[in-house]
Structure formats: structure tokens, C-alpha cells
Structure 1
């Protein structure tokens, strides 16, 4: 028996079942795919695939559908992730380029990914503890009132209006900004307090009070927030796929709502050589999600935070993997600024 042909038969079964949701028989394979052999030969190939646990016959049909093991072999045999169309790439760029702050970027990302894949899209907020200071800005609103802005290299913007102990001129405020930015640029957020405690060179004694107040606020703004938070979109897509889940979708919805399970799962997923991670059905280590598949990839400066989709195992894996990876790349580019 030809190993190459056997894998072609498996690929054809996966593709047909994903698009039709109907069990696939040997006659349909011969009619729809140019496999170059007879129905009898295809039946022999299918029997071998079934013996290996790669396909299975549902009770009510003579056709076959892929098992989790079959999907895994199919996914592993995807030699390269195909690129998105130019229209899809333009849509991603247009939507994400118009985003404002980090919350807006995250919201646009999950909505876009859900629309591209027709699955539940999930994004993990950037790990702020690993982020570094990219920019500082002080805006004088009144003689003693200043808007303090801290921008991290993962796109996070923190800002707050504070009151200084005494009046300050714009030129003096600009000097303080220059001194503080020179001290903190490229410093991890977790080290801001220690760095400031070591001193800020180039500041006149007359500006010590303002420096202390501004430094204290920068320390406050640098404290990591949203370290453990995810955002989702497209949960309604699960309701349209209820036929793909043997049991109720309620446990899946509950796991998504609680977020803890998805946070753990995304954090544990390791990227393969193609830059994506795929967990299929029984491979998902949480019972509530064991009937689903998850496709994810990393994004951001160190690719430690994940973005991905969750859906039924009957998923268009090549298209989904391409969409997830493309969106992550645009997102990383935007956050790099």
C-alpha cells in the first residue's frame, strides 16, 4: 500500500468533511479528487486508516470522518502555512491601523480574527511585567497640574493627571521629562522604581520637589496591570456549530467565561516550527474543552502573549492557522510602533 496515497486519502477525507460536515465515502473521494485509483483501492486505504485510528465510521453512515489522531496527522503534514489573500491582508491592516489605545487594539484584533475564521477568537493581554519603557510625556494643563503619560514597548499607555506641590514652567517640565526619559528609556517596568531610587542625573536642586512627585507617579503607572486577562469575540459562533459537539456546549461556554482555563491553556501552548500551536480535541488538557481545537500563536516584542481561536475539531486548519499568524504579525508591528 502506498504511504503517500494513504496520506492523500486522509487529506481528502479531512477536507471534504470540514466543508460538508457529512461522512465521506470512497465513491465521493473518487469523484471529487484525482487520486488515480479505483474505489476498491480507496476502500482498502480507508480500511487501513481506520485500523490506525485515523478515521472512524459514525453509527448511521457508511462514510468516514477524521478522528483527533487523524486531524493531528493532517495538521502535522501541512508543510507550510499558506498566506492570506491580498484583500484579507488589506482588511487586517486597515482595521488595526485605525486603533487607538491598547484596549482598542485588543478589541479590534479579536473581532477581526473571529470574522476571518468564524470561530471564537481569544487574545491574552501583553505581559506588562516583561514590557519596557518606550516613552514618557508630561503635558502642563495648569501651573501646578500635569498630565503624566507612560508608554510601554508593548503598546500599553498609562496616564493620569497629578498636582505638583508648586508652580512649574513648561521649560522646566520639559527638562524633567528629558532627564527622566534618559534614565528610564528601555528599562523594564518592574525595575522603574529601583532605577529612579538610584537617582536621576542632570536635575537642578530647585526641581527636586517636582522630580519626586513626577517620579512617584511614574512608579505608580509602571505597576503591572492586566497581567492575567484575556479578551474574546465570536462566542455566538459556537452556537452555530452545536452539531459538532457530542455533548452540550455549556461547559465550553463556562470555561470561556471564567477565563482561567483559557489563560492557562494559552500560556502552556508551545509554538512549532511554523510559528503556531495547535491543540486538537483530546490533546486539550482540560475536560471542559476536550471537544474543541485551539490554534494560537505568540505576538508582541517577545511573543510571550498569545492570540488564537477556539472551535470544533472539524475546523479548516490551514486557513485558520494562516489567519491567526497573519493577525499576530500585524498586531506585533502595531505594538512595536
Structure 2
């Protein structure tokens, strides 16, 4: 067990290293944090912390830097969560209040989270078990192409372009009315089954078939399998660590299933609060040089996850506070909507 002084030294080292990204020496630590002990005493404490695995020394004559174990202790015991200011809370509320549908909510949320944390933000699309179909619209684009639009009860809009030669506006109006009569108010699964079994009549199956196929492909899509990412350029502010930090994140972004697994794994172990995975705690080896801060959001029937990824030496108190606040505001917004 570490005594309070050694814990205070560890807290001070992490605070300085997050700010400077440079190894921290004992003399500078005493001066900046008024530890009320000599640099020699601090050096002894640093040596103990290094022996215990909380610090490491990159070079013989250099100061110390925190390890994953040191950051974990900091997050669990030492890092007081920074409260959001009234101005920050108002900014979050204002930014989200202008959203018009679920796509807008998700994209506003991911941009907001990236701005607040200065990290790479990730937001999973929410998918409600009670979602129903609200409207289908057919729009003629050219003489042989039609845009099929499906809107659900969450405000989510999906669209597909289908080929349909020599159609008329009257035909589109009639098919649109039939589609709305057949599926509006039903869940995507119910609507998909009805379209497969009952909608097509032999005399017009060939004509309306492409439209029905377009609608069914949208109904089968699972929005919860999609994530939106913002803030990748934020990683460039980490200077010399740019290459090691950004490359694995970019590789992970290419595979959305990796991001979904990371978010889901982190949140499943701590569903009621913010989860933090530091360095090698991440199950994806390519992200062992990063940390993930994640939270669930939304009402019980529309749960999804959001979070940020960044270098291990991120500002954990501020990042945790931002992720928690945004998750709560978005959840409240969805519940009220």
C-alpha cells in the first residue's frame, strides 16, 4: 500500500506529464506542487513508485513517466472528476437542442464530444426495440431512376436509389400510398415480413419489385452496427507521439466492428457510469498505446454507446467529465423526444 505522500507524488507526476509530455524530475515537482518535502525525499518516493510499477524512467538521467498501472491508480483513486461549468453545460444543451432527427443528433454529438475532449470521438447509432415506420416517399430522379426514402419514428432517414424504367408520377404516387398503407406504424421486422408475403401482386411485381427491394434493404439494416467518428485531426497536437497514436486509431476506424467491440466491452463492465480502458487493458492490440473513455447513453429501450480514444496521457478528469455530461444530455434529449 502506498502512503498519502507517495500518492500525492504520483498525482503530481501524472498532472505534469499530461501537460508537458516530458519526463518529470523531482526538483521541478517540488517547486510546482509545493510538496513541502526535499527533492531527495521526492526522489526516494519516485524510486518506490517505480519499483511498484507505477512509474518508469525512460533514460538513466531522465525524470519519470507514468505507466499504465500508474494511470489506472490515478483514474480509480486520485483523479477528481472535473465538474462541468455552467457555461459548458449550457453549451452542450444548446448544441444538442437544435437537432432535427436521429442522424442530426448523432452527428452533433460526435462533433461536440471531439471539441470538448480534443480527442477522437466515437458515437454508436441508437436502435430502439420500439421503433416503427413513419413514412415512405418515392421521388423521381430521372426517367429511369427513383429515390426511395424511409423515415422511422426516431426521425432516422434512410434512402436508396433504384432503377425503374419509364415510370410516371401517377405510378409513384399510387405505389407510395400502397407502401405507406402496408407498413406505416409497424416495426421494421413486421414491415419486412409483410412486404415479402403480401404486398406484391402478380400483375405489377416486375414494375414495383425494385422499389420493394429497396425498402426491404433499408428495413434490414441495423443502425446499432454503425458508428460515427470525429476529431481524428486532434491527434496531431500530440507532437512526437503523432505516429504511434494516430496510426492504430486510423486502422481501427477502418473496421467499425472493432470500435463497436471496444465500446461495448468497456461499457458492459460498467453500464451505469463512465468506463476507462487504459493502454493494454484494451482488447485490441493495435490500440495498446491509447486509452478509451466510454459511456452508455439513451433510455433503456434505446441504449447505445459513445466515447473517445486518445493517447494514454490524456487529461482523464476533464475527459471523463465531458463523456459523462454528453452521455447524460443526449440520453435526456432522446427520452424527451
TM-score grouping bracket, smaller chain normalisation: 0.7 to 0.9
Give me the whole-angstrom Cα distance separating, in 2, the residues matched to 1:318 and 1:274.
Answer: 18
Q: 1:241 to 1:166 in 2, by over 3 A?
A: closer
Match of 1:280 among 268, 273, 278: 278
User: How far apart are 1:275 and its partner, in Å?
Assistant: 0.4
Residue correspondence of structure 1 range 1-337 to structure 2 within 5 A: 3-59=3-59, 61-78=61-78, 81-126=81-126, 128=127, 130-133=128-131, 136=134, 151-152=152-153, 156=156, 163-164=173-174, 190=189, 223-244=220-241, 247=244, 249-270=246-267, 271-272=269-270, 275-302=273-300, 304-336=303-335, 337=337
TM-score (norm 2): 0.75
> In 2, are the aligned partners of 1:122 and 1:233 still within 8 Å (CA)?
yes
| Counterpart for residue 207 of structure 1 | none
Give me the whole-angstrom Cα distance separating, in 1, the residues matched to 2:175 and 2:321.
Answer: 54
Q: 1:83 to 1:166 in 2, by over 3 A?
A: closer
> In 1, are the aligned partners of 2:235 and 2:242 still within 8 Å (CA)?
no
User: How far apart are 1:242 and its partner, in Å?
Assistant: 4.6
Partner SS state of residue 285, structure 1: coil
Q: 1:167 to 1:40 in 2, by over 3 A?
A: closer
Partner SS state of residue 223, structure 2: coil
Q: 1:334 to 1:72 in 2, by over 3 A?
A: same
**1:169-196 CA distances to partner (integer Å, 9 max, x unpaired)?**
xxxx9xx89xx75xx6xxx654667899
Give me the whole-angstrom Cα distance separating, in 1, the residues matched to 2:173 and 2:129.
Answer: 27
> In 1, are the aligned partners of 2:271 and 2:296 still within 8 Å (CA)?
no
When the two chains are superposed, the root-mean-square deviation of aligned CA atoms in Å is 3.7
User: How far apart are 1:37 and its partner, in Å?
Assistant: 2.3
More helix by share: 2
> In 1, are the aligned partners of 2:124 and 2:306 still within 8 Å (CA)?
yes
Partner SS state of residue 121, structure 1: strand
> In 2, are the aligned partners of 1:80 and 1:274 still within 8 Å (CA)?
no
> In 2, are the aligned partners of 1:242 and 1:249 still within 8 Å (CA)?
no
> In 1, are the aligned partners of 2:103 and 2:157 still within 8 Å (CA)?
no
> In 2, are the aligned partners of 1:291 and 1:312 still within 8 Å (CA)?
yes
Question: Which structure 2 residue ranges, 5 or more long, are not aligned?
Answer: 138-147, 161-168, 196-211
- Count of residue correspondences: 302
> In 1, are the aligned partners of 2:294 and 2:307 still within 8 Å (CA)?
yes
Q: 1:327 to 1:166 in 2, by over 3 A?
A: closer
Q: Comparing 71-80 with 282-291, which one deviates more in the overlay?
A: 71-80
Q: Comparing 286-295 with 250-259, which one deviates more in the overlay?
A: 250-259
Question: Which structure 1 residue ranges, 5 or more long, are not aligned?
Answer: 140-146, 197-215
Give me the whole-angstrom Cα distance separating, in 2, the residues matched to 1:297 and 1:236.
Answer: 22
Give me the whole-angstrom Cα distance separating, in 2, the residues matched to 1:66 and 1:318.
Answer: 16
